[in-house]
Amino acid sequence: MHHNFNFKDVLTASARASWAIEDVLPDGSRLDFSRRFMPETLARTATIPFLSEEEARLLNQIRGHEYLALFGLVEEFILPFVLDHARPQLNEDDHRVRALLGFASEEAKHIHLFRKFHALFQESFATPCAVIGPAEAIGAEILRHDPLAVALVILMIEWMTQNHYLDSVRDDGELDPLFKSLLKHHWMEEAQHAKLDTLMVEALAEGRSAAAIERAIDGFLEIGLFLDAGLKNQTAMNLDAFVEASGRRLSARERRALEGQQHQALRFTYLGSGLVHPRFLATVQAISPAARDRIAGVAPIFS
C-alpha cells in the first residue's frame, strides 16, 4: 500500500482544518489591484516580451479570477459525484459516511466562497471577465463517463491544488494577501479531499479486469481532452477581457502568440501540474502500471 489514508483520520484532520466563509472573506474585504494574484509558475504573464509590467499584472489578475472561477466550476460536478458515491452505503461505516458528507459540504462551501470572490472581483475590476460554462452542461458531460474515470480526474485536481499552494503560492511574498489567503484556506481543506479521492479511486477500481481499467483510462483521457478544449475557449475569453480592460491593441501576430502561450499556461495549471503529481501517479500505478505509463506519456503535452 502506498498510503495510510483512512476515513477516521480524515475526519479528525478536517475538523481541525475547518473554517467559516465569514472569517476568510468578511464583508468589506478588499483586493489589492496593485499586486499580482497568481504565482508566475501558473500565470506565465511576466515573460511575454510585448507586454508592459502593468499589462502583465492585469492579465495575471484576470488569470486569478479565472482560477477561482474554474475551481468553482469543477467543484460543481465533484459535489454530486461524492454524494452519489456516499449514498449506496449510508449504513455500513459511520466514519466513511461522515467523511464523504463532510467532503461534499466543504466543496459546497468552496463554491459559495468562490462566487463571493467573483462578486468582489467584478465590483472592483473595470470590465467583465467571462468564464466558460454553463457549469451544469460541463458537469453533465464529465459525469456521463465511467465513475472510475471521473474519480481519477477529481484525484488529479485535488493533488494539483496541493502542488500549486505548496510549490508556488505559500512562499510568494508579492501576491495580494487576500487572494493568497483564499488559496491557503482552500488548500487546507483540499488536503483531506485528496486522501478521500484516493480511497474512492481504490474502491471503484477493486475487482476490475485489466480491460475494464483500461476503458476507464480511455474515459479519463477523453475528459482531459474535453477540459483542454474548454481551456482553449477560456484563454480567448481571458484575452478579450484583457484587451477591454487595458485598452491595449494587439496585432494579429501578438494575439496568436498570446493565445498559444496562455493556452499552454492554462493547460499546465489545470492538467499538466496534476498529471505529474507523484501521489496521483502512485495511486494510478497501484491500480495498473500500464495505466500509469499511459498517463505519464501524455503529461508532457500539458507541461
What is 5-28 written as a DSSP string?
Answer: --HHHHHHHHHHH---HHHHS-TT
Stretch that binds Fe ion, among 83-91, 105-113, 136-144, 165-173 (CB under 5 A): 105-113
Residue 154: closest CA among 212, 77, 42: 77
Of 58 and 131, which has the nearer Cβ to Fe ion? 131
Measured between alpha carbons, how far is 48 from 208 in angstroms, rounded to an integer?
47
**Does residue 193 bind Fe ion (CB under 5 A)?**
yes
CB of 4 to Fe ion, least distance (A): 20
3-state helix/strand/coil string of 38-58: CCHHHHCCCCCCCCCHHHHHH
Q: Phi, psi at residue 36, to the nearest 5°?
A: -75, 155
CB of 259 to Fe ion, least distance (A): 29
Q: How many CB atoms lie within 10 A of CB 248?
A: 16
**Does residue 76 bind Fe ion (CB under 5 A)?**
no
**Does residue 195 bind Fe ion (CB under 5 A)?**
no
**Does residue 176 bind Fe ion (CB under 5 A)?**
no
Of 101 and 296, which has the nearer Cβ to Fe ion? 101
Of 58 and 74, which has the nearer Cβ to Fe ion? 74
Residue 269: closest CA among 192, 150, 165: 165
CB of 183 to Fe ion, least distance (A): 11
Q: Which grid coordinates are listed for 172?
A: 510568494
171 burial type by CB count under 10 A (0-12 exposed, 13-18 middle, 19+ buried): exposed
CB of 249 to Fe ion, least distance (A): 38
Of 65 and 110, which has the nearer Cβ to Fe ion? 110
Question: In which region does residue 207 sit, left (phi positive, over 0), alpha (psi from -120 to 50) or beta (all else)?
Answer: left
Stretch that binds Fe ion, among 136-144, 190-198, 263-271, 274-282 (CB under 5 A): 190-198
Measured between alpha carbons, how far is 43 from 37 in angstroms, rounded to an integer?
9
**Does residue 110 bind Fe ion (CB under 5 A)?**
yes
Of 57 and 85, which has the nearer Cβ to Fe ion? 85
Q: What character string, x for contact with Fe ion (CB under 5 A) and - otherwise, covers 268-297?
A: ------------------------------
Count residues contacting Fe ion (CB under 5 A)? 3
**Does residue 190 bind Fe ion (CB under 5 A)?**
yes
Positions in the binding site for Fe ion (CB under 5 A): 110, 190, 193
